[in-house]
Structures are given as C-alpha cells and as structure tokens.
Amino acid sequence: MHQLFSVKDILSARGFAIKKEDKGNNLLIKQLDQAKYPNKEDLFDIFNDFEARKELLQLIENNGDASQNPTVNKLIQHPDFQRDRNKFSYTFEWYMGELVVRKFSAFAYSYGVEVQDIKRNETNTYAGDYDVLVVLRNLNLIYIECKTGKFNREGILKSVGRALALHCDFVIIMIDNPINEDQLRNKLKGASHPLLPIHHLNQIQTKGNKSSLIYDWMNCYLLTSSGDIEEQIKTVLRVNQAKKILPQYMFGYENHEFEQLGYVIKTII
C-alpha cells in the first residue's frame, strides 16, 4: 500500500530525488516485517528503553548469549538475529524514525537515505547521505543524524550542511553518550554557522522538566540517547515552533501588509 506523504513523495514535490534508501536489510532482525518473534513492537520497546538498549549493545559487543531482560533474551535467541555492531546502529536509526511517527504523529520516515545531486555549500562536496529523514504532520522535513561514536566540530558542521542542502526545517544530532557541556562548548567555540555568523550555543529545557534538556545551535539540536529521548524531542518540537512565532509577538505586522492580503484594517490605538 502506498504511504501517504512519504519521504520520497515530499522530496519529489520539492525537486529532490532519492537515489536509494534502506528497506530493512541492515536491521538486527532480517526481514523484520515477516519475522514473528520478536516483532516490531518488541524491537521498538527494547530501543525505547535505555537500560534494555544498553544491555543489548553490551551483549552484541561482548558476544553474550543470555539476558535478564526477557524481551532482550527473546531477541538474541531469535534465529534471524544478527550479532553486528553496525546493524545495531542501523536499527537505532530505524527506531528514531519509528519514535517520531508513533509518539509525535509524523506522517512518514525513511532511514539510510541517499539523495541525488546534493552538495554542501561550504565545501562543495557530496552530502547526500542521511541517517533519518522524517515528514512531520505539518509537512516539514527534518533530518536526524545518529552519532553512535565520537563526534567533533566537523561532524556537527557537516550535519548542519546536509540539512541546509536538503532545505530541512531543522536537524537533530543524537549523541550516543551523555553530553559534556564544557566539551560541547569547546567543539563549537568560534565555529561559524553556514548561513549566519552567530556563535550562540543554548541549553534549553521545559520549565520544571529536567529530562527535557537539550542543546540548541541555530536550527541544530543536540540530544543524548542516554537521556529521555521522547522528552528531548518534545522540547525540540516546542522550541522550534516557538522560534517561528516569536517575530509575530515581538514585531507584529504592518497594516499595509494585511491590506495586500485582502483585508481592511484600521489601527485604533
């Protein structure tokens, strides 16, 4: 069945074309759609639980054969389970797309995407590989980059460049470990955003909710997979919307602008 508002269709409507995308061949379970045990729900639940996800990764890296978590144990005992660190990373990308669709009503996602004819403006080099692309309910396109190893300034700037080249609303960089604020500050100190030479790095959280803490550098949001991913993404979505309406609250609109749109307006006070 054709997926309504698929990533492929949204990109096509914007003049872009997908060269290839991952169809599930690189996940921890081969042919996940056909596999009975564990099914998509099991795999999603494991990756949506930080402790279960961490235990699974340790079993993969240490060649373990048993888990105290029954869902993890069922996964690693599955005949189609592939004990592969890279496939764990690909499955995390799948999970991120699933999460935004399931929890935030996004229309569609695609992971392991290669887009044709995309180059970074700052280096003029090929930039067509995207970990995860998501079509939100408002039809905005967002890009999620999953950093399962070390990350540096170059990696952040490349992710920002890829997002700009595809005209994404924003990019989320999901960092594998807890974010060290001092290290992050040093990585971005003096860095120039490709569009605007503004060097602000902000720490933001929803009032009264410590698990919602994120870092914001222009339209690049840095999150940690060691924290509550759902709460962090919720903050990103709220902050991004707040940025869009702030000019309306601060400056409003001139009367002649409304008149050009077909309204009769008279300022009373």
User: pLDDT tens for residues 81-103?
Assistant: 999 999 999 999 999 999 999 99
C-beta of residue 108 within 8 angstroms of C-beta of residue 3: yes
Tell the burial category of 117 from Cβ atoms under 10 Å away from its Cβ (0-12, 13-18, 19+). Answer: exposed
How far is it, in rounded angstroms, from Cα 241 to Cα 256? 26
Reduced to 3 states, what is the DSSP secondary structure of residue 85?
helix
Residue 118, C-beta contacts closer than 8 angstroms, at least 6 positions apart: 16, 126, 127, 128, 162, 165, 166
pLDDT top residue among 252 and 20: 20
What stretches of 82-147 show up as alpha helix (H) in DSSP? Answer: 85-104
pLDDT top residue among 1 and 220: 220
- pLDDT band at residue 1 under the 50/70/90 scheme: very low
How far is it, in rounded angstroms, from Cα 191 to Cα 15? 31
The percentage of residues in the chain with a pLDDT greater than 70, rounded to a whole number, is: 93
Q: Which pLDDT score is estimated for 118?
A: 82
Q: What is the mean pLDDT of the chain?
A: 89
Q: Which pLDDT score is estimated for 264?
A: 85
- pLDDT band at residue 67 under the 50/70/90 scheme: confident
The percentage of residues in the chain with a pLDDT greater than 90, rounded to a whole number, is: 59
- Kindly state the average pLDDT of the residues 184-190: 91
The overall longest dimension of the chain from CA atoms, in Å, is 75
